[in-house]
Amino acid sequence: MAVTSVTSGPAPSPGGGGAAAGRGQRPVSILDVAAAAGVSYQTVSRVINGHPSVRPSTRQHVQATVENLGFRPNRAARVLRGRHAGSVTVLTPNTTLYGYQAGLQGIEEAARAAGFAVGVRVVESTVRAEIADAVTRAVEPGGSLIVIAYDRAGTMALRAVPTDVPMAAMVETPAGGNTGRKRPWVWLDDRRAAIQATRYLLSLGHQTVHYLALPSSTRTSQRQVGWHEALAEAGAPVPAPLPGGWTPRSGYEAGQVLAADPGVTAVLCGNDDLALGVMRAMHATGRAIPEDVSVVGFDDTPVAEFLTPPLTTVRMDFAELGRACFALLLALMEHKDALPHTRRPEPELIVRESAGPPPLPRGSSPTRAAAT
Amino acid sequence: MAVTSVTSGPAPSPGGGGAAAGRGQRPVSILDVAAAAGVSYQTVSRVINGHPSVRPSTRQHVQATVENLGFRPNRAARVLRGRHAGSVTVLTPNTTLYGYQAGLQGIEEAARAAGFAVGVRVVESTVRAEIADAVTRAVEPGGSLIVIAYDRAGTMALRAVPTDVPMAAMVETPAGGNTGRKRPWVWLDDRRAAIQATRYLLSLGHQTVHYLALPSSTRTSQRQVGWHEALAEAGAPVPAPLPGGWTPRSGYEAGQVLAADPGVTAVLCGNDDLALGVMRAMHATGRAIPEDVSVVGFDDTPVAEFLTPPLTTVRMDFAELGRACFALLLALMEHKDALPHTRRPEPELIVRESAGPPPLPRGSSPTRAAAT
DNA sequence: CTGAAAGCGCTTACAG
DNA sequence: CTGAAAGCGCTTACAG
C-alpha cells in the first residue's frame, strides 16, 4: 500500500539472472583488452579510436577481443584526456509541452543511434543570472548542447551559451528567413504552416480568421505573419490577434472571449492545446463546432485525431526536427564547416472535422458542413 | 524558409554578451583556486568535499575564492577518481506517454534541485540481449539509475541492472504490497485508485462496470484487482476485461467493440488516452456521454479537463512520484540502510462530466444526468 | 589541520 | 606499424 518501499542495501540479483547482469567487479579496461590480445594498451586505444596506423590483422584481433570482453571505454577518462564525451545535453524550458517533448524524443532517438548519451536540463527562470548558471551547469567539459528555444527562457539560454561549446538549437522560424549570419539552428516553416491553415479556412467561405497567438520568442512570430499574409492576399479584414499561452486552460480562457463575439466564425489557434481549450469554451457556451465556429490548430498532437470533433490542424513534425537538429550538431562536431542540408519536415494541413463553412447569415438555418 | 541553417564554425558571441558568456579558455581548476586562495590544491579539494579537518577560517576563505572564480569541479575527473558523478540516468521505454513523461519531469526537478545531472535513455526493444546492452550503456561508472518499469521492456530492464549500481525504480503497484523482499521501488496505489473509480460508477446506479485494461507489467494488475474487488463487494457481475494498449487509437478500437454492446453503460479505462479514444468511438457511434455511456479514466492528464465532456478520472500524480523516486535513490546513495518514508501521492477521484447515471431501461426516455 | 605523492582510464605526441 | 611516457583534474591515504 505504501508508495515507497525501502531497501537495506542493493537488492540481490534475482535467480535466473542471465545476460550481463550482476558483474560487480571493476569494468574491463583497455589494459585488460591489451593483455588478452597480447598487445600494448596503446594499440588498443588506437584500434578503438579508428587510428589508421594499425596493421589490419592486429586491428581485427583487437576488435574481436574488445567484443569478447565486452569492453566499453570509460567516458570520464576519455573526457579528462580532452576528447569529446559523446554526449549532448538538451537545455529546455520544458519537457511536457508537445513541441518540446516531441523534440526531445527526436533528439534522443538520433543521439542514441549515434552512440551519444543524452542529458536533459530544464531552465525555468527568465532571470539573466539564473539562466547563465543553468547554462554553465548544463555544459560539462567534453559535452555538447542542444537548446530548445521556443520562448523567452529558451532564447535567453541560447544567447548565454559560450561560443566554444558545440551547440545546435531548435528555434521558431527566424524573421529574416535564411538571411543574415548563418547559425546552427533548425526550424519548421511556421509561416507556410499558417498560410496553409488560413487559406483553407478562407476557402471554406469565412469572411476572416481570428488568430489566437502563442507567446513568441521573436519580435514577429512567423505564424502570425503567415496568417496575416494569407488574410491580406485574400483582401480579408485582419482582426487583432488574441494573445494566448501554451495550455488548454489558456485556450479555454481565450475561447470564452471569442465565444462572446458573434462575428467570430473561424479561429486559428497557435497550437492544438489552445485549440482544445477553445473548443471546450465554445461547447460550454453552446456554440457548435464546426457549424457555428471553425477551429484549427497547429501540431497534430496524438490526441487531436480523437477529439470531438476531430481537430483539423497543421502537422508540425517536431520529432523529425529534433533528429535534424542532432544531425546538425553532429555535423558541426565532425567537419566543422560542412553544410548539412537535412531533410526538412514540411508542415502539412490535416483536414478533419473541426472546420467547415461559416454559418449562414442570421435568419437562415445553419448548414451541416462536410469538410472535404 | 529552410529548416536547417548552416554554420561555418561557432557563431560569434552577440554584442552585449554580459554574464558568464563566452569564456573560451580552459575552465578554472582546483589549482587555480588554490593559487588564488594561497593554499595547496588538496585543501581546496577538502573544502569542496566538505571534509571536516579544515580550519574554519581556511574553509571560508577557500569557499569565497571558489565563488569568485566560478569554479565548478570537473565531473569526469571526480568520477575517474572513484567518486560518484552526481548524475542519474532515467532508463525508460518511452518519453511521451503521460505516466513516463510526468515521471521524468518529476525526476528532473528533484535531481536538479539536488545538483544532479540527469540523462535519459530509451529502451525500445524487448529482446533480452538488446535490453542488456541498453542497460550497460545507460550506466556509466560513477552514475546511478532510475528505471521506469510500467511495461515489459521496463521490467526486463529493471531486472537486468547489475546489483552494484545505485538504482531506484518507478513500478506498478506490486501484487504483494509491501510484503516480500524490500526493493528500492516507488509506486502509486493502483488498487485503491481503481476501487474509488469503480465504486463511484456503481454509486451512480450502473449494474456493472466494464474495464478496458492497460498492458500490465505484472501478473495481476492492481488496477484490475481493485476494479474486480469493488465489483465483487457490490455483488455486481464481473465482465471480462478488455485488453487495451496505451494510446487514444487503442481506446478508439476498443470503444468500437464496447459501443456495439448495448449492455455496456459504464467503462473504466486504464488511462485517460484510452478514455479519450473510447469517448470518440462512442460519439462516432451515436452513443452520448454520459447519457448513454459513462467513461472514466486514470491519470488526469492536462487535457482531461478540457475534453467534451470533461473527463472524470482518477488523478495519479506521476510527477510527485518521480520526485519521490529520486529522493529514494538519493537516500540509498547516502546512508545505505536508511528507511526513507517519502510522502505518497494518493490517487484522487476527480469528478467531472463524463460519468452519470445509466440510461433508463429501454422504452423510457433517457435522463439528463448531472454528476454532482 | 595541511602538504606531497600516487593513481583513476584513457589519448597523444615521441621514439623506435 | 607499435611501445614507453606524460598528463588530463581530481581524491585519498600518508606523512608531517
* C-beta neighbour count of B316 within 10 angstroms: 27
CATH superfamily, domain A30-73, is: lambda repressor-like DNA-binding domains (1.10.260.40)
The rounded percent of chain B whose pLDDT value lies above 70 is 87
Report the pLDDT value the prediction gives residue B8, as an integer from 0 to 100. Answer: 34
Q: How buried is residue B285: exposed, middle or buried, by Cβ count under 10 Å (0-12/13-18/19+)?
A: middle
Q: Which residues contact A5 (CB under 8 A, 6 or more apart)?
A: B178, B182, B183, B184, B185, B186
Looking at per-residue pLDDT, the higher value among B199 and B64 belongs to B199
Identify whether the C-beta of residue A321 lies closer than 8 Å to the C-beta of residue A173.
Answer: no
Distance in angstroms (rounded) separating the CA atoms of residues B90 and A306: 30
Q: Residue B238: is it exposed, middle or buried by C-beta count within 10 angstroms (0-12/13-18/19+)?
A: middle
Query: Is a pLDDT exceeding 60 seen at residue A371?
Result: no
pLDDT band at B38; cut points 50, 70, 90: confident
Report the C-alpha dihedral over residues A266, A268, A269, A271, rounded to 10 degrees. 130
Q: Is the pLDDT of residue B19 over 60?
A: no
In this structure, which amino acid lies at residue B355? Answer: A
**Dihedral of CA A276/B370/B284/A358: which sign?**
negative
Q: Where in chain A is the domain with CATH 3.40.50.2300?
A: 87-171+319-345, 190-311
Note the pLDDT tens digit of each residue in A313-354. 999 999 999 999 999 999 888 876 655 566 679 999 999 999
Q: What is the DSSP letter of B27?
A: P
**In terms of Cα–Cα distance, which of B145, B129, B5 is closest to B84?**
B145
| Facing B80 at nearest CB: one of A77, A279, A302 | A77
What would the mean pLDDT of A85-104 be, rounded to a whole number? 96
Q: Write the Ramachandran bin of B128: left for phi over 0, alpha for psi from -120 to 50, otherwise beta.
A: alpha
Confidence of residue A85 (pLDDT cuts 50, 70, 90): confident
pLDDT at B4: 44
Strand D reaches within 7 A of the A82 CB: yes
Å between CA of B59 and C1' of D15: 22
Residue B308 confidence (pLDDT): 94
Digit-coded pLDDT (tens) for A273-313: 999 999 999 999 999 999 999 999 999 999 999 999 999 99
| B285 pLDDT tier (thresholds 50, 70, 90) | very high
Q: What is the pTM of this model?
A: 0.89
CA distance B3 to chain A (A): 5
**How far is residue A249's CA from residue A275's CA, in Å, rounded to a whole number?**
10
Residue B201 near residue B209 (C-beta atoms within 8 A): yes
What cell does B75 get?
565531473
The whole-angstrom separation of Cα B158 and Cα B131 is 9
Mean pLDDT of chain B: 87
CATH code that applies to domain B190-311: 3.40.50.2300
Distance, CA of B83 to C1' of D11, in Å: 8
Provide the pairing of β-strand A87-92 with A144-149. parallel
Task: For residue A8, name the pLDDT band (cuts at 50, 70, 90).
Answer: very low
When comparing pLDDT for B67 and B247, which is higher? B247
- Domain A87-171+319-345 architecture: 3-Layer(aba) Sandwich (3.40)
3-state SS class at B21: coil
CB contact under 8 A, B303 and A306: no
Q: CATH 1.10.260.40 in chain B: give the residue spans.
A: 30-73
Cβ of A183 and B140 within 8 Å? no
Residue A176 to residue A194: CA distance in whole angstroms: 17
Please indicate whether residue A246 or residue B5 has the higher confidence score (pLDDT): A246
Q: Which nucleotide is at minimal CA–C1' distance from A81?
A: D8
pLDDT band at B202 (very low <50, low <70, confident <90, very high): very high
Residue A144 bridge partners (DSSP): A88
- Which residue, chain included where needed, has cell 478533419? A352
Q: Which residues 211-230 of B are in CB contact (within 8 Å) with A?
A: none
The overall longest dimension of chain B from CA atoms, in Å, is 93
Q: What is the pLDDT of residue B11?
A: 33
pLDDT band at A26 (very low <50, low <70, confident <90, very high): confident
Chain B hits for A181, Cβ within 8 Å:
11
- Rounded to the nearest angstrom, the minimum Cα separation between A70 and chain B is 10
B250 vs A54, higher pLDDT = B250
pLDDT at B181: 57
Residues in Cβ contact with A254 at an 8 Å cutoff, skipping those fewer than 6 apart:
A212, A242, A244, A274, A277, A278, A281
Is B61 at the interface with chain A, CB within 8 A? no
Alpha-carbon gap, residue B315 to B298, rounded angstroms: 6
Strand C: which nucleotides have any atom within 7 A of a protein Cβ? 1-5, 7-13
What's the rounded Cα separation, in Å, for the pair A145 and A91? Answer: 7
d(CA A166, CA A163): 8
Residue A46, phi then psi, degrees to nearest 5: -60, -40
**Predicted local distance difference test score (pLDDT) of residue B336:** 60
Window 2-61 of chain A: CB closer than 7 A to strand C: 26-27, 29-31, 41-42, 45-46, 48-49
Band (A105; pLDDT cuts 50, 70, 90): very high
Phi, psi dihedrals of residue A119, rounded to the nearest 5° = -110, 160
Letter string b/e over residues A311-333, b meaning 16 or more CB atoms within 10 A of that residue's CB: bbbbbbbbbbbbbbbbbbbbbbb
Mean pLDDT calculated for residue range A111-137: 94
Contact (CB, 8 A) for A128 and A158: no
Rounded CA-CA distance A303/B279 in Å is 12
Nearest 5°: phi and psi at A243?
-80, 130
pLDDT above 80 for A180? no
Q: Do residues B53 and B85 lie in contact, with contact meaning Cβ atoms separated by under 8 Å? A: no
